[in-house]
């Protein structure tokens, strides 16, 4: 509709232009000035404002990117000159060709560079407490839609801006709701006691290579399938007591595989941001601080391996929208790039302290946003040519027949299929061979991304000054997908005769209506098993030892679905890609599997590990019920649950709701409203002990094991409890574990798995009383040299030979302690079975032998 109007408007412009009502500013629209103290527009208001802009201005077109997790509209505003907005299809096509220049001649490429526009993506407010940018977006969009000065028009002629006012609309609604509810009370500006993304909270910016959440997937589609932006800025906020704004250049380390022109683009833009801020009298601008150029989990980070120049800004926060005052003595460095707070080359004009308010955040972000738009317009041809150069270099970095092969023959073939599908979703070209192998040639635009995801990480031990201490990883240090997913891959030479892989278009054998057996070992089996368990009258059984019947041999862990179960599970077969075989009937001497009733502990100190656990369990067809402190303390848990899971939450938070205080650290902990205060306390510990005594199963991940060890009288200790960082330290690394076969929790698992550890928990067990049985389910290798598979660890010798996962009986029930994170960020498919199997084990009627 808008395009037609735009075409007609040319003739009428002199008349209509004179009489058209001015486009309403966001302040008029909202009824308060944008950025005013204690005033905040919620996401639905923001969307209404953008939709109004769309209908009022030919420079603005709102695109709907789909629904969020909780059903909000995800929107993105395309903002450019009227002509560019009308011509956006062609601009996208040029951007796509520059991002994938295979077959493009130099002359044609140069024509595209001359013709093309810079596609600049700016995302705001992925972290929902970092609220400023969601407000700034309205103000900026209005300014761009209404400005008549030659400079703004020139910028909009050269650049197509894709502006996403919030990358987590659900959290924006939650946080503004929480803030408004507590306004004027002692809890004004307090943190919310639950995650600001329904499943993943702050980790929504850790999901950009695994693509699990709706918001991530929608944005990833925009970036790598539709618009191919050359430049991307993600706007964040940081703590209150350091610099006022971080702009690029980034801090060390830098990944050497990323094309250096990424950093050249980024640094030119960052330098202009800093200059424009300084000219506007904004102090406290820093670069080369805290945020590195190495880790690929964040929005703009993943793009570096896809030849995109991704930038970050971080502005100092207030108490959501409530102003704060920082006395000079509270200002502190203490982070990479600023050890002591004071002037230095990357921070020439420190902010002196004083009042800091939402309006300051909006101002800093607005200036930085204008500066990136300015540089993109100024450097249009450079940035397009650089994109072309990076894409060409990525394609040329590999030989024409260099490829990764994902063999069809796998211990866990369904997870191999999931990996191939994930690469395809990243717009990586994946091929299939007649035998079911997947092939990924490396001479393609995103070949470097594939290499980064498939190759073990070796963290560069960069030192800022001579001495022992290295720059610590910003986040995790390992993201090797085949290891995490338990999939074998090899780098080899591409054969002839491959076909392009089209996920879910492959024919799936339909079960004939009879019973079938599932090949054990894949987490995907749980989707099928749980679908069958939900069906009335279906029978699901499992072989607890190897079985032979009618010439067929079934390994321990094989699950059998009867005809009713098979029918119920048929709809999930294509998605799960499980391997199954028809059987006449389930063999005798199998154990019945029941649907476990799962309780998942949810502390009020919002736990991302809790959210990820809930996500994984729901995705795999379990039906976990959240249990809060009050529910646990009320007891009678055995009536409701077979298993209760304690996610990776530190023992102090479980015990009393307050995080641990470091030696000599601040003891202050801001109160939550009384209904969210406290932890399990003594009654909760007693209730969980009663639950297990009576036959329940308690499963704890990582540091929650410390709470179990302290609260239950069990013969196990954590060898690394409060280990000094000099002695042992790890940052999200992948380690090798040897799995002990012959236990319901390990049935079907391979002999060796890669487990994700993050300053993890390592067990020493001992013999308990005669009534107590214990099992080491998985252990570290004998030699410390064999421990690390990917990432960074100091002190591997502390892990060698120790137990990583243990189980024991306790009264009539069981305890399972997993010293690693079996479900870490929904990435570690290879260790999901530890969790799933423990849940099925909880329903076993018999006391384990």
In the complex, which residues of this chain contact Zn ion (CB under 5 A)? 127, 130, 236
Q: Which is nearer to Zn ion, 203 or 702 (CB)?
A: 203
Q: Across the beta sheet with 438-441, what order do the strands follow?
A: 490-493, 402-406, 438-441, 431-432, 499-500
**DSSP state letter for 519:** P
Residues 236 and 145: their CA atoms lie apart, in Å, by 24
Q: Which is nearer to Zn ion, 130 or 610 (CB)?
A: 130
Q: Where are the beta strands (DSSP E) in 589-739?
A: 591-592, 598-601, 625-627, 643-646, 697-701, 716-718, 729-739
Residues 555 and 542: their CA atoms lie apart, in Å, by 10
Minimum Å gap between C-beta 123 and Zn ion is: 11
Q: Which is nearer to Zn ion, 127 or 276 (CB)?
A: 127
700 - beta bridge partners? 646, 817
**Lookup: tokens for 325:** 């005052």
Q: Report how far apart, in Å, the C-alpha atoms of 617 and of each of 523, 741, 837 are.
A: 11, 24, 12
Q: Report yes or no: 748 and 813 within 8 Å, Cβ to Cβ.
A: no
**DSSP state letter for 347:** B
Q: Which is nearer to Zn ion, 173 or 578 (CB)?
A: 173
Interacting residues of 11 by C-beta distance below 8 A, sequence separation 6+: none
Q: Report how far apart, in Å, the C-alpha atoms of 756 and of each of 152, 787, 820 are.
A: 49, 12, 6
Q: Report how far apart, in Å, the C-alpha atoms of 446 and of each of 263, 459, 759 are.
A: 18, 22, 32
Q: Report yes or no: 116 and 378 within 8 Å, Cβ to Cβ.
A: no
Q: Which is nearer to Zn ion, 100 or 130 (CB)?
A: 130
Q: Give 282-297 as a 3 state SS string.
A: CCCEECCCCCEECCCC
Minimum Å gap between C-beta 674 and Zn ion is: 29
Q: Which is nearer to Zn ion, 195 or 816 (CB)?
A: 195
Q: Which is nearer to Zn ion, 295 or 554 (CB)?
A: 295
Minimum Å gap between C-beta 403 and Zn ion is: 37
159 phi, psi to nearest 5 deg: -130, 140
**Lookup: tokens for 293:** 């150029």
**Lookup: tokens for 294:** 């190495």
Minimum Å gap between C-beta 202 and Zn ion is: 7
Minimum Å gap between C-beta 127 and Zn ion is: 4
Interacting residues of 31 by C-beta distance below 8 A, sequence separation 6+: none
Query: Which 3 state secondary structure label does DSSP give 187?
Result: coil
Minimum Å gap between C-beta 130 and Zn ion is: 5
Q: Which is nearer to Zn ion, 190 or 204 (CB)?
A: 204
Minimum Å gap between C-beta 251 and Zn ion is: 16
Q: Which is nearer to Zn ion, 97 or 127 (CB)?
A: 127
Q: Across the beta sheet with 516-518, what order do the strands follow?
A: 580-582, 516-518, 559-561, 540-542, 591-592
Q: Where are the beta strands (DSSP E) in 29-72?
A: 60-67
Q: Which is nearer to Zn ion, 159 or 238 (CB)?
A: 238
Cα 513–chain centre separation:
39
Q: Which is nearer to Zn ion, 132 or 249 (CB)?
A: 132
The angle formed by the CA atoms of residues 480, 232 and 455, to the nearest 5 degrees, is 15
Q: Which is nearer to Zn ion, 125 or 539 (CB)?
A: 125
Residues 760 and 751: their CA atoms lie apart, in Å, by 21
Q: Which is nearer to Zn ion, 100 or 314 (CB)?
A: 314
Minimum Å gap between C-beta 131 and Zn ion is: 11
Minimum Å gap between C-beta 481 and Zn ion is: 24
Minimum Å gap between C-beta 298 and Zn ion is: 9
What is the maximum span of the chain, computed from C-alpha positions, in angstroms?
95
Torsion angle of alpha carbons 52, 57, 63, 69, nearest 10°? -30
**Lookup: tokens for 562:** 């009867």
Minimum Å gap between C-beta 30 and Zn ion is: 24
**DSSP state letter for 733:** E
Minimum Å gap between C-beta 303 and Zn ion is: 17
Residues 625 and 760: their CA atoms lie apart, in Å, by 26
Q: Which is nearer to Zn ion, 312 or 806 (CB)?
A: 312
Residues 212 and 217: their CA atoms lie apart, in Å, by 7
Minimum Å gap between C-beta 68 and Zn ion is: 18
Minimum Å gap between C-beta 246 and Zn ion is: 11
Minimum Å gap between C-beta 236 and Zn ion is: 3
Minimum Å gap between C-beta 425 and Zn ion is: 24
Q: Which is nearer to Zn ion, 236 or 743 (CB)?
A: 236
Query: Which 3 state secondary structure label does DSSP give 54?
Result: helix
Q: Which is nearer to Zn ion, 173 or 533 (CB)?
A: 173
409 phi, psi to nearest 5 deg: -80, 100
The angle formed by the CA atoms of residues 288, 294 and 296, to the nearest 5 degrees, is 125
Classify 320 in phi/psi space as left (phi over 0), alpha (psi -120 to 50) or beta: left
Please list the alpha-helical segments (H only) found in 379-473.
Answer: 380-396, 413-425, 447-454
**Lookup: tokens for 98:** 């520059």
**DSSP state letter for 671:** P
Interacting residues of 815 by C-beta distance below 8 A, sequence separation 6+: 692, 697, 698, 699, 700, 708, 712, 714, 807, 808, 809
Q: Which is nearer to Zn ion, 291 or 836 (CB)?
A: 291
Tokens 């009308």 locate to 86
Q: Which is nearer to Zn ion, 612 or 763 (CB)?
A: 612
**Lookup: tokens for 819:** 């010293």
Minimum Å gap between C-beta 317 and Zn ion is: 9
Minimum Å gap between C-beta 335 and Zn ion is: 15
């Amino acid at each position: 509709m808008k395009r037609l109007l735009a075409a007609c408007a040319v003739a009428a412009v002199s008349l209509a232009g004179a009489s058209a009502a001015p486009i309403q500013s966001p302040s008029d629209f909202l009824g308060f000035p944008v950025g005013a103290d204690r005033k905040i527009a919620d996401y639905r208001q923001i969307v209404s404002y953008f939709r109004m802009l769309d209908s009022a201005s030919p420079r603005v077109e709102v695109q709907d990117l789909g629904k969020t997790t909780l059903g909000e509209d995800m929107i993105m505003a395309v903002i450019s000159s009227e002509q560019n907005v009308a011509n956006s299809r062609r601009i996208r096509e040029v951007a796509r060709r520059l991002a994938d220049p295979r077959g493009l001649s130099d002359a044609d490429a140069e024509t595209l560079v001359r013709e093309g526009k810079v596609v600049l993506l700016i995302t705001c407010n992925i972290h929902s407490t970092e609220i400023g940018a969601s407000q700034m977006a309205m103000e900026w969009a209005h300014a761009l839609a209404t400005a008549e000065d030659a400079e703004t028009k020139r910028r909009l002629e050269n650049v197509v801006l894709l502006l996403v006012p919030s990358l987590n609309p659900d959290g924006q609604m939650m946080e503004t709701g929480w803030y408004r509810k507590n306004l004027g009370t002692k809890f004004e500006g307090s943190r919310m006691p639950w995650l600001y993304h329904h499943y993943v909270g702050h980790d929504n910016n850790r999901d950009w290579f695994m693509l699990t959440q709706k918001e991530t997937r929608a944005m990833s589609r925009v970036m790598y399938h539709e618009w191919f932006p050359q430049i991307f800025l993600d706007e964040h906020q940081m703590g209150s007591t350091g610099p006022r704004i971080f702009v690029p250049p980034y801090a060390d380390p830098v990944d050497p595989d990323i094309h250096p022109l990424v950093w050249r683009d980024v640094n030119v833009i960052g330098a202009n941001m800093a200059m424009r801020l300084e000219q506007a009298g904004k102090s406290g601008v820093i670069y080369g601080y805290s945020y590195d150029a190495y880790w690929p989990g964040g929005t703009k980070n993943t793009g570096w391996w896809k030849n995109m120049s991704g930038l970050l800004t971080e502005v100092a926060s207030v108490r959501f929208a409530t102003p704060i005052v920082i006395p000079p003595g509270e200002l502190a460095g203490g982070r990479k790039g600023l050890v002591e707070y004071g002037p230095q080359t990357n921070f020439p004009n420190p902010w002196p302290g004083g009042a800091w308010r939402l309006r300051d955040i909006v101002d800093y972000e607005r200036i930085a946003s204008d500066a990136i738009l300015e540089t993109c317009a100024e450097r249009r041809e450079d940035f397009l040519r650089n994109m072309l150069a990076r894409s060409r270099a990525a394609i040329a970095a590999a030989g024409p027949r260099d490829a990764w092969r994902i063999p069809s023959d796998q211990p866990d073939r369904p997870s191999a299929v999931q990996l191939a599908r994930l690469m395809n979703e990243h717009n990586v070209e994946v091929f299939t061979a007649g035998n079911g192998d997947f092939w990924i040639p490396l001479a393609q635009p995103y070949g470097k991304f594939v290499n980064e995801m498939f190759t073990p990480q070796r963290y560069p031990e960069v030192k800022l000054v001579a001495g022992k201490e290295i720059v610590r990883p910003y986040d995790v240090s390992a993201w090797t997908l085949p290891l995490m997913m338990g999939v074998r891959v090899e780098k080899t030479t591409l054969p002839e005769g491959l076909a392009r892989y089209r996920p879910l278009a492959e024919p799936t054998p339909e079960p004939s209506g009879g019973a079938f057996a599932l090949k054990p070992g894949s987490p995907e089996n749980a989707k099928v098993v749980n679908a069958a368990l939900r069906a009335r009258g279906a029978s699901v059984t499992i072989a607890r030892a190897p079985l032979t019947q009618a010439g067929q041999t079934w390994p321990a862990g094989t699950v059998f679905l009867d005809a009713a179960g098979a029918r119920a599970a048929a709809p999930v077969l294509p998605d799960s890609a499980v391997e199954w075989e028809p059987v006449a009937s389930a063999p005798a001497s199998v154990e019945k599997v029941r649907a476990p009733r799962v309780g998942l502990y949810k502390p009020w100190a919002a736990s991302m590990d809790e959210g990820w656990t809930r996500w994984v369990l729901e995705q795999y067809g379990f039906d976990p019920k959240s249990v809060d402190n009050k529910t646990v303390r009320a007891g009678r848990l055995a009536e409701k649950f077979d298993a209760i899971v304690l996610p990776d939450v530190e023992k102090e938070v479980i015990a009393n709701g307050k995080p641990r205080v470091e030696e000599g650290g601040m003891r202050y902990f801001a109160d939550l409203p009384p209904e969210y205060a406290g932890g399990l306390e003594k009654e909760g510990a007693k209730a969980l002990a009663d639950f297990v005594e009576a036959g329940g199963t308690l499963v704890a991940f990582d540091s929650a094991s410390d709470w179990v060890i302290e609260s239950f009288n069990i013969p196990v200790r954590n060898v690394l409890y409060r280990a000094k960082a000099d002695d042992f330290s790890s940052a999200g690394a992948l380690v090798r574990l040897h799995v002990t076969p012959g236990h319901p929790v390990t049935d079907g698992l391979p002999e060796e798995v890669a487990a994700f550890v993050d300053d993890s928990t390592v067990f020493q067990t001992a013999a308990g009383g005669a009534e107590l049985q214990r099992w080491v389910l998985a252990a570290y290798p004998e030699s410390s040299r064999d421990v690390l598979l990917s990432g960074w660890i100091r002190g591997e010798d502390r892990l060698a030979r120790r137990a990583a996962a243990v189980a024991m009986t306790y009264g009539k029930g069981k305890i399972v302690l997993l010293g690693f994170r079996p479900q870490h960020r929904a990435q570690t498919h290879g260790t999901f079975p530890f969790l799933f199997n423990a849940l099925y084990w909880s329903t076993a009627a018999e006391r384990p032998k």
